[in-house]
Amino acid sequence: MTQNNPAPVLYSFRRCPYCMRAHMALKYAGIKAELREVELSNMPPQALAVSPNATVPVLVLPDGTVNDESWDIVKWALQQNDPDGWLGENNEYALDAEILIETNDFSFKEDLDHYKYADRFPEHSKEHYRTACEEFIKELEDMLSGNKYLLANRMTLADVGVFPFVRQFSLVDKEWFDQSPYPAVQRWLQALIDSELFQQVFQKHALWKEGAVPVYI
């Protein structure tokens, strides 16, 4: 990108599920952005200047507009370009995706954090927190019993919004998950993990430093 036509800047952390879905949407939409991989425990001052809460992802547009909500970044990216119709005809998938994300980002994410870090929440057992997570996983299993993907037989914005969090859930106890009674979720998850889109997004990059050669996605 030239100085007269700068690219958006994405501050990101590779393993963060919020960053994954934002990065996947930008990549899918073909939006060239400068990727700045950061360390959450040591955020550079340039990132803190646009994200005072020290959260990622943060997308900074060339006009200075800052978007620090991953789901908003997903929707913004699709509004710029949606080559495979993730939003559906006349945005038909948008409302159902919003409802699913509401559950994913609040109740499921809270249960997932308790499950993943059960030693920090000794009020209940790890199994108790996993059972709480399973309420959402069962819902996804039901949705996937009739479709290849969550809302249709093709990928939509709902899949990219939920997938990174289900991936995180599966990794807390991989042996249990692989034997769990959720074959449709397992197939769906593996298909997304194996996808070219995710493999491109999950590539490792060095931590960003001012003055370093820019990395573009």
| Res 1: pLDDT | 44
Reported as a pLDDT band with limits 50, 70 and 90, residue 21 is very high
Containing domain of residue 18, as a range?
9-85+199-216
CA distance 57 to 22: 7
Query: If you average pLDDT over residues 133-143, what whole number do you get?
Result: 98
Name residue 166's amino acid: V
CB count in 10 Å sphere of residue 217: 18
Task: Residue 26: name the closest of 98, 97, 83, 65 by CA.
Answer: 83
Position 185 pLDDT exceeds 60: yes
- Classify residue 4: in a domain, yes or no: no
- Structural element, H or E, at residue 19: helix 17-28
- Classify residue 80: in a domain, yes or no: yes
Q: How far is CA 171 from CA 112, 174, 176, 207, in A?
A: 11, 5, 9, 24
**Residue 75 and residue 114 in one domain:** no
Q: State what percent of residues in the chain have pLDDT above 90.
A: 93
Write out pLDDT tens, residues 47-79: 999 988 889 999 999 999 999 999 999 999 999
Q: What is the mean pLDDT of the chain?
A: 95
End-to-end CA distance of the chain: 12
**Residue 113 and residue 175 in one domain:** yes
What pTM was computed for the model?
A: 0.95
Helices H / strands E in the chain, number of each: 10, 5
Q: How many domains does the chain have?
A: 2
**Residue 48 and residue 118 in one domain:** no
**Residue 94 and residue 186 in one domain:** yes
- Record the tokens describing residue 60, joined without a space: 């900074």
- Classify residue 1: in a domain, yes or no: no
- Record the tokens describing residue 210, joined without a space: 């001012």
| Res 2: pLDDT | 43
Beta strand spans in the chain (E)? 9-12, 34-37, 58-60, 66-67, 215-216
